[in-house]
Chain A
Amino acid sequence: MKSHVWRTLFVVILLVVGIMVFRLFYVPSDFGSGKRGFMYSYHRFSNEGEWKAQPIKYRDTGKQKMHEYCGECHDDVVEVRTEDLHGTIACENCHGPAFDHPEDPEELVIDRSRALCLRCHTDLPYTTSERHRIPGIDPKEHNVDEMCVDCHDPHNPRLEDM
């Protein structure tokens, strides 16, 4: 073979070897594919651990867990709530994330805004939707500029108890 062929071939081989050496150092050693194969799961395995280590902000305060944790200190409120209409709403929806409460934050920031109540209690003309079963108001007419919680007790929202 002539020397100009060798020269090109040498450059190509050098490039390939160079890229493979670079790859050897650059690609993390735990790159690979799990049981779902190369097409769907070629990845760095340690990334799964990184996602698992993300900080948790919300506790599990669904109806059952609320008894267990929030009720340890606030049993008076939890007892009223769980029996009543708002009992299905998780505490943290209004009281804010409380994973490390009472250490951090010591006091939760409570969202008392009208906007929070209006998420469910704006009257929408959707008779076929579950939304229709929730009592609703027209926010442009019903005591504008006043806080809902000034009159209504969110823990015991029954109108007859107002």
Chain B
Amino acid sequence: MERRDFLKKSIIVVAGASVPLSALELVDPKEVLAANPDIHWAFLLDTHKCVGCGFCVKACKTENDIPFNAKVTRTWVERYVYTKDDRRYIDSPNGAQDGYTESRIDLGQGNFKEIDPENVGKAFFVPKLCNHCETPPCTQVCPVGATYKTDDGVVLVDRTWCIGCGYCIMACPYGARFFHPVEKVADKCTFCYHRITKGMETACVNACPFGARKMCNINDINDPVTQIIMNQRVGVLKDEFGTKPQAFYIGLAQEVR
């Protein structure tokens, strides 16, 4: 073999060998997923610890570019006030993005209700977000395959593929989806997929000063949060819908749905 031929052929071999390798790495996310086939993300919310500061909502909106002046949010905090004369009031002004700084209840449409402090029986706050259901109704109804559940258990929306029809927003029993006013597509909590896949906490978990929000890999039985879900009394929202939510709550009341 001549020197020129040898060089030519070796260049071809090197080029041929390197292209499919790099192409595999970039194009085939199955390879990436296969590295962590056992991860299944779940969320734990402790309603006893929540004080309604709304730092989670602020952090979520900042991290994920959700406009503060629009009445949409990926996560929100609800306030439940039971009075001694057996009335129940529930509100979440602006999703509690500025926390609860007033004792009056926001009844909507500019109406407010001041409750006599003597009359307050019990009151508590409940943080909410997408439940990332095991059998999500929202992904079933998508007519174009734009929303889906990943192998590690997170429900995502493909922004380039979503046509904005809004079926999924209607289908979600928890009201966790909304129409993104800037991107003009359906939007929802992603469990901060860009953070958790790099080993970080979600923005809301990180921002919560009281430990009311926690995240875990529910397949890892040594994870302390998984231990709580396994060993303590936790509940899920709207169990009867058969959606198998992956957000677990400590201290649920029957009014919280």
Which A41-67 residues sit within 8 Å CB-CB of chain B? 41-58, 60-62
Are A58 and B203 within 8 A (Cβ)?
yes
CA distance A49 to B150 in the complex (A): 11
> In this complex, what residue of B is CB-closest to A62?
B206
Give the residue of B117, B124, B149 whose beta carbon is less than 8 angstroms from that of A129. B124
Are B51 and A129 within 8 A (Cβ)?
yes
* Interface mask (B138-165 → A, CB under 8 Å = 1, otherwise 0): 0110000111111100001011110000
Listed by A's residue number, 23 A-B pairs whose Cβ atoms lie within 8 Å are A30-B27, A31-B145, A35-B151, A36-B151, A43-B145, A43-B156, A45-B28, A47-B159, A49-B29, A56-B63, A60-B200, A61-B206, A62-B201, A93-B59, A115-B98, A124-B100, A126-B81, A126-B123, A128-B121, A128-B124, A130-B49, A130-B210, A131-B52
> Number of contacting residues on A, CB 8 A?
50
- Whether A71 is near chain B, meaning CB under 8 Å from some CB there, is no
Which A109-139 residues sit within 8 Å CB-CB of chain B? 115, 118-120, 122, 124-131, 134, 139
CA distance A47 to B157 in the complex (A): 8
> In this complex, what residue of A is CB-closest to B119?
A125
Are A51 and B27 within 8 A (Cβ)?
no
- Whether A34 is near chain B, meaning CB under 8 Å from some CB there, is yes
Which of the listed residues A60, A93, A129 has the most CB atoms from chain B within 10 Å of its own CB? A129
- Whether B195 is near chain A, meaning CB under 8 Å from some CB there, is yes
> Which 9 residue pairs of A and B lie closest in terms of their CB atoms, listed nearest first?
A119-B99, A125-B117, A43-B148, A126-B123, A54-B194, A119-B53, A131-B51, A47-B158, A128-B122
> In this complex, what residue of A is CB-closest to B50?
A130
- Whether B234 is near chain A, meaning CB under 8 Å from some CB there, is no
Question: Would you give the shortest CB distance from A143 to chain B, in whole angstroms?
Answer: 15
Are B32 and A49 within 8 A (Cβ)?
yes
Give the residue of B53, B158, B193 whose beta carbon is less than 8 angstroms from that of A120. B53
Which of the listed residues B63, B64, B122 has the most CB atoms from chain A within 10 Å of its own CB? B63
Are B145 and A42 within 8 A (Cβ)?
yes
* Interface mask (B100-117 → A, CB under 8 Å = 1, otherwise 0): 111100000000000001
Are B156 and A51 within 8 A (Cβ)?
yes
- Whether B198 is near chain A, meaning CB under 8 Å from some CB there, is yes
- Whether A40 is near chain B, meaning CB under 8 Å from some CB there, is yes
CA distance A34 to B59 in the complex (A): 31
Question: What residues on B are CB-neighbors of A128 within 8 Å?
Answer: 121-124
> In this complex, what residue of B is CB-closest to A125?
B117
CA distance A130 to B125 in the complex (A): 9
